[in-house]
Amino acid sequence: MALPPAPVLLLSQGYKGRDRLVPVGRSRVAVGGEPPGLLLNWGQVHNDGVVADASNAAPLRPVLASPGAVGYSRATIGGHKAAASWIQRRAPHTTAEWDLTVDEAIAAQQSLGTPGMVLPSRQLGPADWPDGVQDALDAARRACVRHGGGDMLVGLILDEPWITDVRLRRTLLNQFTDLPPQLGAAIHVHWSSSDTPNQPRNLSALRTVVRALAEDDRRVLLVEAGGLGWLAIAWGAWGFSAGLSQASWRRSTEVVRRAKGQPATRVPRFFEIDLLHHVRQTTHQRLVREPGYTACRCSFCAQLNPATTNAWDHTLAEQHGLDTLAAVTEHVVAPRLVDRHARVRGIVDAALQFENAVSFRLTGDSRPLHLPVWRAEL
């Protein structure tokens, strides 16, 4: 079993709401579309949950599994279920620890029957330059010798400077050049804030990384990248992942300060394919009356009734977002990168035109400030 050609959307498995991902695949099939795949995650879900979701993933395909983690030394996940064996130990640092972690993670993926392997990783920050990334890539090189051929992706959990700092970025790319040709990259960037990646300099840096690896004939998967991962298809990315939570569309290390005991406020948001952006429900209710608006007919919107004042179901809205992301990924399918690039650019151009034609001013976080920045990188 081989991995499919680009572009591929994988739904990110999280600890909560894991059972809401398969219905997204069924929704795509119901309208004659292609279902997205699934990216299982031992770093966020206990071992029993990963195994169970792998067994019940249909029609989602392909199914891959990420064994890397931000947090190690955890006997259980969710308070009572055992974490994967390598997650229970400390994060790998020595050669022996890396090799044991890699071997156990590959054996676990082989038992799931995944069509490709994702090699485990630990989070790398600026202090890990240059040895941290070299240790991870050396472990991947040794894994190729021990485990032979087949599609492999080196898992890399990177803090923002590994993308934006030219010194760290150059080290990362230079180290990758010397790896065996079958090794691709599963890159999980932890940005300093949710807005950071759409700043022109940072977006350009991410494009440099994706394009350099793609031009070296490496398969590139951007983990928890959402719409930004979709944009990267135009740069040569093989695929990207997104899940139900907003964090799974763009992971950041930003800390939101609240008064003690104050609960998090969830704002009703709706992903608009015409803007490639999440807007507030109140904005959506105005957009549906605009000429040229594309009404969503997915099964989740049929239940959500987003243009009404009904009580908001956040899960249905999140499932709609993934369904829409899968649809817009299908829109850019083409055998040649030049054609995928042109289709991504055409959709971004259409979004810019729609924004300019809207009869009222989009404000606040409903305004798609990223669109002109994206267009500049196409």
Task: List Cα–Cα distances, 169 to 74, 86, 94, 350, in angstroms.
Answer: 31, 28, 23, 33
Would you say residue 343 lies in a domain?
yes
Would you say residue 125 lies in a domain?
no
Token pair of 377 as six digits: 């990188």
Reported confidence tier of residue 355, pLDDT bands at 50, 70, 90: very high
223 pLDDT more than 80: yes
Q: What would the mean pLDDT of 259-263 be, rounded to a whole number? A: 63
Measured distance CA(364)–CA(112) in Å, rounded: 44
Reported confidence tier of residue 2, pLDDT bands at 50, 70, 90: confident
Measured distance CA(7)–CA(334) in Å, rounded: 8
pLDDT of residue 256: 57
Measured distance CA(246)–CA(101) in Å, rounded: 30
Would you say residue 232 lies in a domain?
no
Would you say residue 262 lies in a domain?
no
Measured distance CA(136)–CA(140) in Å, rounded: 6
Task: List Cα–Cα distances, 213 to 219, 241, 291, in angstroms.
Answer: 8, 18, 41
Would you say residue 128 lies in a domain?
no
258 pLDDT more than 60: no
Which residues 6+ apart lie within 8 Å of 339 measured at CB?
none
Measured distance CA(117)–CA(128) in Å, rounded: 24
Token pair of 346 as six digits: 């055409």
pLDDT of residue 197: 95
Q: What would the mean pLDDT of 322-341 be, rounded to a whole number? A: 98
Would you say residue 24 lies in a domain?
no
For residue 351, give its domain range.
269-376
Q: Which of 244, 200, 248, 204 is nearest to 222 (CA)?
A: 248
Least confident of 107-111, 303-307, 341-345: 303-307
Measured distance CA(78)–CA(61) in Å, rounded: 26
Measured distance CA(216)–CA(225) in Å, rounded: 22
Q: Which amino acid is located at 30 in the chain?
A: A
257 pLDDT more than 70: no
| 3-class secondary-structure state, position 276 | coil
Domains of the chain: total: 1
What's the pTM value of the predicted model, to 2 decimals?
A: 0.96
Reported confidence tier of residue 261, pLDDT bands at 50, 70, 90: low
Would you say residue 328 lies in a domain?
yes
| 3-class secondary-structure state, position 105 | helix
pLDDT of residue 308: 74
311 pLDDT more than 90: no
Token pair of 102 as six digits: 């890699």
pLDDT in tens, 35-74: 999 999 999 999 999 999 999 999 999 999 999 999 999 9
Instruction: Report residue 9: phi and psi, to 5°.
Output: -105, 130
Q: What would the mean pLDDT of 202-222 be, rounded to a whole number? A: 98
Reported confidence tier of residue 83, pLDDT bands at 50, 70, 90: very high
- Angle, helices 95-112 vs 131-147, to 10°: value is 50
Would you say residue 27 lies in a domain?
no
374 pLDDT more than 80: yes
Average pLDDT of the chain? 95
Measured distance CA(13)–CA(325) in Å, rounded: 16
Q: What would the mean pLDDT of 15-30 be, rounded to a whole number? A: 97
pLDDT of residue 305: 85
Token pair of 293 as six digits: 């608006």
Q: What would the mean pLDDT of 142-151 be, rounded to a whole number? A: 89
| 3-class secondary-structure state, position 230 | helix
pLDDT of residue 72: 97
Measured distance CA(287)–CA(295) in Å, rounded: 10
Q: What percent of the chain has pLDDT over 70?
A: 97
Residue 210 and residue 232 in contact, taking contact as beta carbons nearer than 8 Å: yes
Q: What percent of the chain has pLDDT over 90?
A: 90
pLDDT of residue 79: 84
21 pLDDT more than 70: yes
